[in-house]
């Protein structure tokens, strides 16, 4: 039932979603990291989506 990936004592491989400073700091430490420049969905779209998932 668990698909949890191994974390302790494995090489860290990181997805950084948001503040770029964390991405840069991990790079400085030699960690493999990719950056996601997250853009929030437009408000209306999110509200519609939330309503939809409530209904379904």
Binding site for other proteins (CB under 8 A): 1-22, 25-26, 28-29, 31-41, 46
Nearer to other proteins, 53 or 55 (CB): 53
The alpha carbon of residue 49 and the mean position of all alpha carbons in its chain are separated, in whole angstroms, by 20
Kindly state the smallest distance separating residue 54's Cβ from other proteins, in Å.
14
Q: What whole-number distance in Å separates Cα of residue 12 and Cα of residue 34? A: 12
Kindly state the smallest distance separating residue 21's Cβ from other proteins, in Å.
6
The two tokens of residue 28 are 């400085």
Kindly state the smallest distance separating residue 44's Cβ from other proteins, in Å.
14
**Do residues 34 and 54 make contact, with C-beta atoms less than 8 angstroms apart?**
no
């Amino acid at each position: 039932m668990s698909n949890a990936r191994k974390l302790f004592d494995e090489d860290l491989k990181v997805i950084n979603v948001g503040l770029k400073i964390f991405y840069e700091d991990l790079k400085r430490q030699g960690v493999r990291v990719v950056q996601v420049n997250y853009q929030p969905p437009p408000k209306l779209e999110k509200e519609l989506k939330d309503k939809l998932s409530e209904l379904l």
